[in-house]
Amino acid sequence: MLITGDFNVGHTTRDIKNWKGNRNSAGFLEVERAWFDRWFDELGWVDIARSIAGDIDGPYTWWSFRGQAFDRDVGWRIDYQVATPELAERATASHVDRAPSYAERWSDHAPLVVDFRI
């Protein structure tokens, strides 16, 4: 099974560029992040993008339209593809289809793309 979408929560400090300034902001509240801990740690679901990317900052999928967040890559990783372990084993690649420039973006989000082997 695969669940995808904009979950509006950055799970860890790796998922938000400015996590220190957002500790009390919706989308990075401790209770929200604990909900993700339950999904991944207790229930065994797999965050595919994180499992492929490893322990790095991002890759971000959302940037505010304010300031120069997009140009400076000051984003949040809030779009997910979450899978059962059996399906996650079939994931071969993951990337964010980020627009080449601010002027060419059509949303404040960029699609998270995952490739699976059949």
d(CA 28, CA 76): 10
Q: What is the pTM of this model?
A: 0.93
Domain count, the chain: 1
pLDDT single digits (tens) 82-111: 999 999 999 999 999 999 999 999 999 999
Query: What would the pLDDT profile of 16-33 be if each residue is shown by its tens digit?
Result: 999 999 999 999 999 999
Here the tokens at position 25 are 């902001």
Q: How far does Cα 26 stand from its chain's mean position?
A: 15
Catalytic residue at 108?
no
Residues of the domain holding 12: 2-116
From the candidates 6, 37, 71, 115, give the one annotated as an active-site residue.
6
CA 7 to chain centre: 9
Q: What is the CATH number of the domain that holds 53?
A: 3.60.10.10
C-alpha 104/C-alpha 19 separation (Å) is 27
